[in-house]
Amino acid sequence: MHMPLPLAAVIEQLSSLPSIGPKSGLRLAVHLLSRPPQEVQELAKSIANLHQKMRFCEQCGGFSEQTLCRICANPKRDQQTVCIVEQAVDVLMMERGNHFQGRYQVLHGRLSPVDGIHASDLWLKSLDQQIEQGSIQEIILATSATVDGEATAHWLARRYQSKPLQVSRIARGVPEGGELEYLDEHTLSRALQQRIRWES
């Protein structure tokens, strides 16, 4: 099949994205071609800006446009309760339901010796400082229900065991092997509300 090169290039790029195969890539590319040029340029511009305008919050490690993200900078959020998640996208998932009023700490990974991810790779510096300052009352472990996620939760619980704060784990509404990303907001907010105190 002869495919004009500019079209073929867009199809190839789109098809390389997750959950888009060559067929959907073709459909999307043809759709873009059918839209007004300005609209397509807006889309291209947003994508081009993504890396330039987004960074990680210096305090929690979540996605942000500024040094501090909107959650960390919001004085109405409960400053003393911190929910620990693996990835920045997990914060977005938790925020969907607007049920959680505390703040977050993003680890940017989970302990996985097989993949060479060790404790020193996890983003905990800022949280450690806040704990040392005595400004945290509770940490909620919301790592995934995978083997590595559980191991990470255990490690964190042991790490903060001697500190004057409560450690909780989100409830088992989270299915085995569950990444937060795939949970609906109700399951997630229930898991958070029904969190259990960590007994070591």
Dist. CA 142–CA 135, nearest whole Å = 20
Sign of CA dihedral 79, 83, 84, 88: negative
Among 11, 14, 29, 60, binds Zn ion (CB under 5 A): 60
Q: In the chain, what's the furthest Cα-to-Cα distance?
A: 68
Query: And the tokens for 183?
Result: 């949970």
Task: Output phi, psi for 126, to 5 deg.
Answer: -65, -40
Query: And the tokens for 9?
Result: 């290039």
Do 11 and 31 meet the contact criterion of CB atoms below 8 Å apart? no
Identify which range of 51-59, 139-147, 148-156, 184-192 contacts Zn ion by CB under 5 A: 51-59
Instruction: Give the per-residue contact string, 7-46, with Zn ion (x = CB under 5 A; - = no).
Output: ----------------------------------------
Among 10, 72, 83, 107, binds Zn ion (CB under 5 A): 72
Dist. CA 192–CA 189, nearest whole Å = 5
Q: Which is nearer to Zn ion, 87 or 145 (CB)?
A: 87
Dist. CA 106–CA 88, nearest whole Å = 6
Q: Which is nearer to Zn ion, 104 or 160 (CB)?
A: 104
Among 10, 14, 57, 183, binds Zn ion (CB under 5 A): 57
Dist. CA 192–CA 111, nearest whole Å = 22
183 interacts with Zn ion by CB under 5 A: no
Identify which range of 45-53, 55-63, 92-100, 142-150 contacts Zn ion by CB under 5 A: 55-63
Least separation in angstroms between CB 33 and Zn ion: 40
Among 25, 59, 106, 156, binds Zn ion (CB under 5 A): 59
Least separation in angstroms between CB 111 and Zn ion: 22
170 interacts with Zn ion by CB under 5 A: no
Query: And the tokens for 145?
Result: 């229900």
Instruction: Give the binding site for Zn ion (CB under 5 A).
Output: 57, 59-60, 62, 69, 72
